[in-house]
Each structure stands twice: as C-alpha cells, then as structure tokens.
C-alpha cells in the first residue's frame, strides 16, 4: 500500500511540474517559439512572421521558427493557435480578415474570436488601393460610381476570397454608394492582379504592398486609397472619402495574438520585445518599402481594435448577404 503522504506529495509535485511552463517566467523563453502564419509563404503576413522570428531569435538567443498553416480561409491556423497551450510558445500572425470570420462563419467558426485569444500587438497598418487597368476609362471614384449606377452588375471586381480585406473594401464601397458590382474571387492576390491586367475583371481593391511593383511600373492605374489619410508612399493618390464617398475608411492591419490565458507577464515581455524589434530602423524601412507603416502598439490597443472591427465587418457581411465561397 502506498503511503498517503507520499501519494499527496507526488501528486503535488506532478501538478507543479505541469504548471511550471505556465507559471515560471524568469527563464522565458527557454525552448523553441513558433510563429504560426495562417497563409502560404509570400506576401506581407509571411514577411511579418519571418522578420519577427529572425529578430526575436537573435534578441533571445533562442530558436524561433515560422510555420505556415494555410487553409480554411485562415481558420485552420487560427484554430491551431486557439487550442495551443497558453504558455507564450505559440504566436499567431493575425491580420484584418480575422475580424471578418465571425460574420462569415457564425457558430461554425471552430473557435471564439474574442474568448479564445489574447491580443498581443498590432504590428503594422497599410491601406488598400482601388486599381484599374492603365487603359481603363475610369480616372476617379466618381467615374466608377456613375458607371455602376447606370450599369448595375456590369462591373466585375476581383478579391482574394470571401472576407478578405479587398472583398470587404468593395462591399463597404457598394453599401455606401448604393451600387451593384459583381464579385469574382481568386485564390490569392497574384492571380487576381493578373486577371485585372488581362481584362478578365474591371477593377479591384488590393493591399498596396501587393500591387506596389505594378503601380511603380505604371502597369496599373490607381484610383483611390482606403484610409482616412493619403498614403505616405503615394501621396498623389486621393482617398475614397475625399473623392466621392465621405466617411469611407478601411485600414488594413497586421497583428499577432496568443492563446487565451497566456500569463500577463509573458504577454508584456513579448509585446516589449516586439516593439523593440519592430521599431528598429531596418525593419521600419523594410516595411515602408512594402507600403506598411509600423504601429507597434500595446496589447490593450490591439484588443480594442479587434473588438471594434468584428461588429463593423459582421454588419457589412450581413447587409451584403456574403457567404463563404
């Protein structure tokens, strides 16, 4: 028969061991940290993950790896992090479409977008830009609105899928201008841009980083940007709001989150270290070249942003009757 005191002590030791990774912070991180990118390699979300991994690895003298887990409109990667231990060793790259998924999936979403995550940092912010072919007759937002009103449904616009920032940008535009345009989804920005240049579709909103090369080469014509202010990269391009749709605004944000329940000490350390690396001049310059402004805010600020964005995009999705495609 086992001694009852030894049994109790053994159970207590086992419990302490199990809790050690969650409660001891002095040596964090003492093993490999994973940054989960819910997209395929390439584009800015992947860049954010890899720059952060490289910089944090050097800062900590610890292994930090990027794992791409695409699929399910990012729900696969998101759900993986939501179900990971809340110990700071699994970080999610989390951009604007994260806030559209509750409206798209409702009860079918395999996690709770608020309860299952701890916001860590808004890393950066960019704008979408409304672009057309260089030979397009459209030169302004007003041109697009006037044609769309006279020809309901005849203009085709591309997106990278339901709930993407370019899709939501156009749906908000349609709602605020009372126009009808036909949605043509593509599997990524690159094929959508090729379709636009090839004449398969008429126009699209896309992240400035995704069309930077075409804009600089004059292969696409910019009509307007989606922010409240003009882009510092392209100050000559007006905003949608100032050229026909007052109050229109879409800021494309990029951030990081952790599983819910991650200890506050870990959240604060990670945020502090990410702020340090993201504000280093080489990172600021690299992001700027891609059309992204470094934000590097607090967990509280990022949490407030997500809580504002979810109802905003849920309403847009509901009003437009957007379904998962």
Q: What are the tens digits of pLDDT across the range 247-290?
A: 999 999 999 999 999 999 999 999 999 999 999 999 999 999 88
Taking 70 as the pLDDT cut, the residues of the chain under it are: 1-26, 325
Q: What is the pLDDT of residue 25?
A: 59
Domain ranges of the chain: 31-124+252-320, 127-251
In this prediction the pTM is: 0.83
For the chain, give the percent of residues with pLDDT over 90. Answer: 76
Structure tokens at 307: 């809580």
Question: Given this model, what pLDDT does residue 156 score?
Answer: 97
Q: Report the pLDDT value the prediction gives residue 3, as an integer from 0 to 100.
A: 52
Q: Are 31-124+252-320 and 127-251 equal in CATH topology?
A: yes
CATH of the domain spanning 31-124+252-320, picked from 3.30.420.40, 1.10.10.2120, 3.40.190.150, 3.30.1490.440: 3.40.190.150
Give the mean pLDDT of the chain: 90
Nearest by Cα to 203 from 187, 227, 223: 223
Question: CA 155, CA 183: separation in Å to the nearest integer?
Answer: 9
Rounded to the nearest angstrom, the gap between the alpha carbon of residue 19 and the centroid of all alpha carbons in its chain is 32
What CATH number was assigned to the domain covering residues 127-251?
A: 3.40.190.10
pLDDT at position 187: 79
């Amino acid at each position: 028969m086992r001694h009852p005191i030894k049994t109790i002590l053994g159970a207590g030791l086992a419990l302490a061991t199990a809790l050690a990774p969650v409660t001891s912070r002095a040596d964090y991180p003492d093993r490999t940290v994973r940054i989960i990118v819910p997209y395929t390699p390439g584009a800015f979300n992947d860049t954010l993950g890899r720059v952060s991994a490289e910089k944090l690895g050097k800062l900590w003298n610890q292994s930090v790896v990027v794992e791409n887990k695409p699929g399910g409109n990012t729900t696969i990667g998101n759900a993986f992090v939501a179900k990971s231990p809340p110990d700071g060793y699994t970080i999610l790259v989390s951009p604007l479409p994260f806030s559209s998924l509750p409206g798209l999936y409702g009860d079918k979403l395999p996690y709770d977008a608020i309860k299952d995550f701890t916001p860590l940092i808004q890393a950066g912010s960019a704008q979408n830009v409304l672009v057309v072919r260089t030979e397009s007759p459209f030169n302004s937002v007003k041109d697009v609105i006037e044609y769309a009103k006279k020809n309901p449904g005849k203009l085709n616009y591309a997106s990278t899928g339901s709930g993407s920032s370019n899709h939501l940008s156009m749906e908000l535009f349609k709602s605020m201008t009372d126009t009808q345009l036909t949605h043509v989804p593509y599997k990524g920005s690159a094929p959508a841009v090729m379709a636009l240049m090839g004449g398969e579709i008429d126009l699209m909103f896309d992240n400035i980083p995704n069309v930077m090369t075409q804009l600089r080469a004059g292969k696409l014509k910019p009509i307007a940007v989606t922010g409240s202010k003009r882009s510092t990269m392209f100050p000559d391009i007006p905003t949608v709001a100032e050229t026909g749709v007052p109050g229109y605004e879409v800021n494309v944000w990029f951030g990081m989150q952790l599983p819910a329940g991650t200890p506050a000490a870990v959240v604060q350390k990670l945020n502090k270290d990410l702020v340090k690396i993201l504000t280093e001049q080489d990172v600021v310059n690299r992001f700027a070249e891609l059309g992204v402004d470094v934000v590097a805010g607090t967990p509280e600020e990022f949490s407030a942003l997500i809580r504002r964005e979810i109802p905003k995009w849920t309403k847009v999705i509901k009003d437009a009757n957007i379904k998962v495609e």
